[in-house]
């Protein structure tokens, strides 16, 4: 029966990976795989286990308890993401992200490259790499009109956004999973990964700045900035509210989603007040027919629910394999075959370029039982976060950029993949240097 379960998981995983070829949204095989795996466990009366992380052994449990345990861990991640997504959409409701365009005043291509790379690195650490990529490519489309040049900028945004998301507990879904799963803490994650992530951003950008395509200045540039009243205020308020979440967790020791709900409540109060202000209503009315809507309700309608359901399906599917003890057994076999954890993590990084890094990290959390803030978890966070940049569909940032700019797979492979590889490898070597010689 366990062999059949593994086959079902592999087929479901394959369907997720070939989403664009099959023209089937990846949430469908993820949800189907989750339901089928748990149904097979129930109907087959298979033994399920909890992992004793202290003694590194499996403890028998009941299927109802296992389901409730894993659903609780998954719900923590999903509720956290829902709160973060809602705050981002509220900022967008007030056109707050247009404020960022004020930082872009130069026509020099190299300076523009460094501005976009720096913004991607910083923003992705605050509002996650996916949202940062969407915001910056939207701005990029208004600043640069030459398509070929814009593709190069978009490619570097993907690389630098993924680098920025690796060192922050709220910068990438995978680091958020490790943080909420109590594998890493905020201070230690930043301490271990901020410099390697910075190297991963600087090296590719430095190499790219020497390319011929970035020489000279942009001929035509749109300098117009369309700001709405309270837009800048909501941007800074929303970003501050998201940054407050790790602080709240550190002080209260409560799960991160509690702090995110508090931040959402505070932002929502200000959004309600500002949306009824005379200046904001007039600015909206001048742009066309305007009817007042609750900004929170509007934000909730724009949330990517397919992504939330995909995370639910894939995390609970991986949880099924974890409950059967299959991941624990695989980890023991892997450690016996490859004793060097650096090689194992490096393999994870390359695999994350081909398949989705969410289930990859979810599987690693079930495979290894190292304590919180063990260097292995920081290595996995970095490798999975930055390794996905090597192929256009290897990360959520790459997929959304591919859709927004219609980036060709082979164009990216030819022009950007090498930069992503150099950045990821140089960053990982920096991580090993810090881990073994500086932070010991």
Q: Domain limits at 244?
A: 2-438
Q: What is the DSSP string of 370-410?
A: PPTT-HHHHHHHHHHHHHGGGSTTSSHHHHHHHHHHT--HH
Q: How far apart are CA 139 and CA 114, in angstroms?
A: 15
387-418 core/surface letters (b: 16 or more CB in 10 A; e: else):
bbbbbbbbbbbbbbbbeebebeeeebeebbbe
- CB–CB of 397/161 below 8 Å? yes
- What is this structure's pTM? 0.81
Q: pLDDT means per 10 residues in the chain (440 residues)?
A: 88 81 85 94 88 66 89 89 89 85 82 93 89 87 85 93 92 89 91 94 95 84 68 90 90 91 94 78 57 80 85 87 81 76 84 76 80 90 90 81 82 92 94 83
Strand blocks (E) in 229-301: none
Provide the domain count of the chain. 1
Q: How far apart are CA 318 and CA 10, in angstroms?
A: 11
- Cβ-based neighbour number of residue 254 at 10 Å: 11
* Predicted local confidence at residue 84, as pLDDT: 87
* Predicted local confidence at residue 167, as pLDDT: 93
Whole-number Cα distances in Å, 300 to 84, 89, 203, 404 = 11, 8, 38, 22
According to DSSP, residue 356 is labeled: -
- CB–CB of 48/324 below 8 Å? yes
297-331 core/surface letters (b: 16 or more CB in 10 A; e: else):
eebeeebeeebbbbbbbbbbbbbbbbbbbbbbeeb
Q: How far apart are CA 128 and CA 379, in angstroms?
A: 19
* Predicted local confidence at residue 263, as pLDDT: 94
Q: How far apart are CA 292 and CA 287, in angstroms?
A: 13
Burial class of residue 291 in the structure, from the number of CB atoms within 10 Å of its CB (0-12 exposed, 13-18 middle, 19+ buried): exposed
């Amino acid at each position: 029966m366990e062999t059949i379960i593994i086959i079902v998981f592999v087929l479901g995983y394959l369907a997720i990976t070939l989403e664009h070829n099959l023209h089937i949204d990846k949430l469908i095989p993820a949800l189907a795989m989750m339901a089928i795996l748990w149904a097979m466990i129930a109907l087959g009366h298979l033994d399920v286990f909890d992992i004793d992380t202290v003694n590194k052994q499996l403890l028998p449990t009941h299927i109802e308890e296992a389901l409730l345990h894993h659903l609780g861990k998954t719900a923590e991640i999903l509720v956290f993401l829902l709160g973060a997504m809602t705050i981002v959409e509220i900022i967008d409701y007030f056109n707050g992200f247009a404020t960022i365009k004020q930082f872009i005043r130069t026509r020099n291509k190299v300076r523009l490259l460094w501005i976009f790379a720096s913004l991607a690195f910083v923003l992705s650490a605050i509002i996650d790499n996916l949202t940062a990529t969407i915001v910056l490519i939207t701005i990029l489309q208004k600043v640069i009109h030459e398509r070929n040049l814009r593709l190069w900028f978009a490619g570097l945004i993907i690389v630098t956004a993924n680098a920025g998301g690796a060192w922050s507990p709220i910068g990438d879904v995978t680091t958020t999973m490790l943080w909420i799963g109590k594998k890493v803490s905020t201070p230690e994650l930043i301490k271990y990964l901020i410099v390697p992530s910075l190297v991963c951003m600087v090296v590719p950008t430095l190499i790219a700045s020497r390319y011929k395509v970035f020489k000279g200045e942009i001929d035509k540039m749109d300098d117009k900035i369309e700001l709405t009243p309270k837009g800048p205020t909501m941007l800074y308020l929303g970003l501050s509210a998201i940054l407050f979440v790790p602080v709240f967790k550190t002080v209260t020791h409560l799960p991160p989603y509690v702090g995110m709900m508090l931040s959402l409540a505070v932002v929502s109060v200000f959004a309600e007040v500002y949306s009824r202000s005379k200046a904001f209503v007039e600015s909206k009315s001048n742009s066309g027919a305007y009817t007042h809507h609750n900004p929170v309700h509007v934000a909730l309608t724009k949330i990517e629910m397919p992504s939330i359901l995909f995370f639910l399906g894939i995390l609970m599917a991986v949880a099924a394999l974890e409950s059967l003890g299959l991941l624990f057994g695989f980890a023991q076999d892997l450690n016996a075959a490859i004793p060097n954890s650096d090689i194992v993590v490096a393999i994870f990084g390359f695999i994350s370029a081909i398949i989705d890094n969410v289930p990859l990290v979810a599987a690693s959390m079930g495979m290894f039982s190292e304590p919180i803030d063990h260097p292995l978890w920081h290595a996995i966070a970095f490798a999975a976060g930055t390794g996905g940049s090597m192929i256009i569909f290897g990360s959520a940032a790459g997929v959304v950029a591919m859709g927004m700019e219609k980036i060709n797979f082979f164009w990216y492979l030819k022009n950007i993949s090498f930069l992503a590889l150099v950045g990821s490898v140089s960053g990982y070597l920096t991580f090993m240097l810090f881990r073994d010689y500086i932070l010991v």
